[in-house]
Amino acid sequence: MPGTGTVLLSAGFGPPLHPPGRWVARQRLRHPVSGGPVDRESGELIARLAAGAGLVRDSIARLRALDLGDPVAADAARYRLIAAVEGATDMGITLLAERGGRPPESYPDVFLALARAGVISVGLADQLAMVARLRDRLVHSPADVTGAELAAGVELASRSLPEFLKLIAGFVGTDPDRWA
């Protein structure tokens, strides 16, 4: 919402799982969070998570195929890294909203909140938070990100995001290969 200082997410996955008129996780980072446990049987929840997983997997596959020494490929990598982080944070925010609890304040905080909730490990959350901070820099001050930083971020994302997808799939009781 303009003028509220809210950080908007750019990727959403279908209609909200909450009653109409409430702000939901996919719409903004600061939101009233509904209470209650995750309904692991909800086909709608699984479908929304699968959409995010598809974006993350596609972005990671394309990142791995890029030659970051090529300036055009480096620009594509910047976009794909942003998309991968946003897909993963949308998944995380969706789960956090369904579980209830403190809403995340930023993209990195999504992963730290997932660790506090016991969904992912603290070590993985720290790695993903570093990638999310790079995403923030790529969005807000892209000229300040060096090629070496981009390469390191792509490497870290390529290692940590597949693990994230596997843990999220396990948490909701689905096969991560179904998200391919």
pLDDT tens across 106-154, in order?
Answer: 999 999 999 998 999 999 999 999 999 999 999 999 999 999 999 999 9
- Classify residue 23: in a domain, yes or no: no
For residue 7, being part of any structural domain is answered with: no
In this structure, is residue 6 part of a structural domain? no
Say if 28 falls within a structural domain: no
- Contact 90/52 with Cβ under 8 angstroms? yes
On the 0-12 / 13-18 / 19+ scale of CB atoms within 10 A, 68 is: middle
d(CA 27, CA 55): 17
Is 69 contained in some domain? yes
Structural domain of residue 62, as residue ranges? 43-173
In the block, tokens 């971020």 appear at 153
Q: Is 165 exposed, middle or buried (0-12, 13-18, 19+ CB in 10 A)?
A: buried
Indicate if the pLDDT at residue 4 is higher than 90.
no
Which range, of 35-39, 89-93, 102-106, 132-136, averages the lowest pLDDT?
35-39
Backbone angles phi, psi at 53, to 5 degrees: -65, -40
Cα-Cα-Cα-Cα torsion 41, 43, 47, 53, nearest 10 degrees, comes to: 20
- Is 19 inside any structural domain? no
- Asked if the model's pLDDT at residue 164 lies above 60, the reply is yes
Instruction: Return the closest-CA partner of residue 17 out of 84, 103, 99.
Output: 99
27 in any annotated domain: no
Number of domains in the chain: 1
User: 10-22: per-residue pLDDT in tens?
Assistant: 333 333 333 333 3
Residue identified by tokens 């309904």 is: 39
Cβ-count burial 6-36 (b if 16+ within 10 Å, e if not): eeebeebbeebbbeeeebbbbebbbbebbee
The H or E element that residue 131 is part of is: helix 122-140
Q: At 120, which CATH number?
A: 1.20.120.580
Residue 24 φ then ψ, to 5°: -115, 165
Is 31 part of a structural domain of the chain?
Answer: no
